[in-house]
Amino acid sequence: MNNTGYIKINSDNWEDAGKIYRVHEYFRPKSESTAVHLTLEFNNETIKKVVPYHWIEWIEDGDW
């Protein structure tokens, strides 16, 4: 599944606080019930993360 857009990650990790990431890839394997594999961009840097889907807050274009 390829989704694009922008997200915030609502975790307890200071690394994610206040950041809005551009989503390049969003993949949720069937074998892992809540895990989402993400390829993100922030400040022209590509980042790969795996987070629970309930930490993801989708941002509408222009809503930031």
| CATH for the 5-59 domain, from 3.20.20, 1.25.10, 1.20.1740, 2.30.30 | 2.30.30
pLDDT above 90: percentage of residues in the chain: 75
Helix (H, G, I), strand (E, B) or coil at 61: coil
d(CA 56, CA 19): 12
- Note the pLDDT of residue 1: 45
Would you state the structure tokens that stand for residue 53, as one six-digit string?
Answer: 């889907």
Cα 27 from Cα 63, distance rounded (Å): 24
Strand partners, 49: 38
pLDDT digits (tens, 9 = 90+) for 2-53: 467 999 999 999 999 999 999 999 998 887 689 999 999 999 999 999 999 9
The enclosing H or E element of 33 equals: none
